[in-house]
């Protein structure tokens, strides 16, 4: 995994952002950050980080985890035993069972993407991820500076190592689900976070977890002007 500072200007809040598959920090460059620093984590070919996360978080008044898409699973995997580093955690359009017919991306679709991955398939993925023309155009103007070979290698690595965890074990206290998600199907996200079908009824759900649906596609980030606006929509002004 690769860590990149998107914003670092001595703010009191640190946002650690676990990106989605095939991404780097480039699509996030349009987002401003006034009251927070932002460290982006990308590329899950290897789940070792090229920077010191605990050291990076030292000195901040609060540290917030944001994870999107496959980053929801990757953050849970990587941060096992380190949840104390974060004051709060948000999952966006992802689950802890990300390759699954009920709770994630259907395995057949995932395999087809791997088998057919080329420039045409990559563009199709971006289209499905953004859905609306104006979002796609803005995304393509800031598309990831990733090679096809590197993205495919990451896809293969994820397919080989992804396993499922229960929603009750998740480190996330807030969940955002896009109602127009064509990548991580909206219904599958709802099923995973709201009803853990593998557990007895007495153990289902977590009363302290807040689940919110937003009108957005799988890539929702351009609905916000910046990271502060995103955080304020979830936790309120000042991230209280």
pLDDT of residue 203: 36
pLDDT tens digits, 16-32 = 999 999 999 999 999 99
Instruction: For residue 81, name the pLDDT band (cuts at 50, 70, 90).
Output: confident
Residue 199 in this model has a pLDDT that exceeds 50: no
Kindly report the average pLDDT of the chain as a whole number. Answer: 92
Classify each residue of 197-222 as buried b or exposed e, where b means 16 or more C-beta atoms within 10 Å of its C-beta: eeeeeeeeebeebebeeeebbbbbbb
How many angstroms separate the CA atoms of 45 and 34, rounded? 32
Strands 36-42 vs 13-18: parallel, antiparallel or unpaired: parallel
2-239, what's its fold? Answer: Rossmann fold (3.40.50)
3-state DSSP call for residue 123?
Answer: helix
CA 148 to chain centre: 21
Domain ranges of the chain: 2-239
For 84, 90, 159, 187, the CA distances from 178, given in Å and listed in that order, are 28, 13, 23, 10
pLDDT tens digits, 121-132 = 999 999 999 999
Say what the pTM is. 0.93
Instruction: For residue 239, name the pLDDT band (cuts at 50, 70, 90).
Output: low
pLDDT, average across residues 38-52: 90
């Amino acid at each position: 995994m690769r860590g990149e500072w998107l914003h670092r200007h001595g703010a009191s809040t640190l946002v650690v952002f676990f990106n989605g598959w095939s991404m780097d920090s480039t699509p996030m460059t349009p987002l401003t950050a006034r009251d927070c620093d932002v460290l982006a984590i990308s590329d899950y070919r290897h789940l070792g980080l090229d920077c010191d996360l605990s050291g990076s978080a030292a000195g901040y008044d609060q540290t917030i985890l944001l994870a999107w898409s496959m980053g929801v699973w990757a953050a849970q995997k990587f941060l096992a035993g380190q949840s104390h580093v974060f004051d709060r955690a948000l999952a966006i359009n992802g689950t802890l069972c990300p390759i699954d017919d009920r709770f994630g991306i259907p395995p057949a679709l995932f395999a087809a993407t791997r088998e057919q991955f080329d420039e045409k398939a990559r563009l199709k993925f971006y289209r499905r991820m953004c859905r609306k023309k104006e979002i796609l155009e803005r995304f393509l103007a800031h598309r990831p500076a990733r090679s096809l070979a590197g993205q495919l290698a990451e896809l293969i690595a994820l397919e080989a190592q992804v396993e499922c965890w229960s929603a009750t074990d998740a480190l996330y206290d807030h969940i955002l689900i896009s109602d127009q998600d064509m990548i991580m199907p909206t219904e599958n996200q709802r099923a995973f976070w709201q009803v853990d079908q593998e557990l007895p009824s007495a153990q289902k759900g977590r009363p302290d977890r807040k689940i919110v649906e937003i009108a957005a596609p799988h890539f929702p980030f351009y609905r916000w002007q910046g990271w502060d606006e995103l955080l304020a929509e979830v936790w309120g002004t000042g991230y209280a």
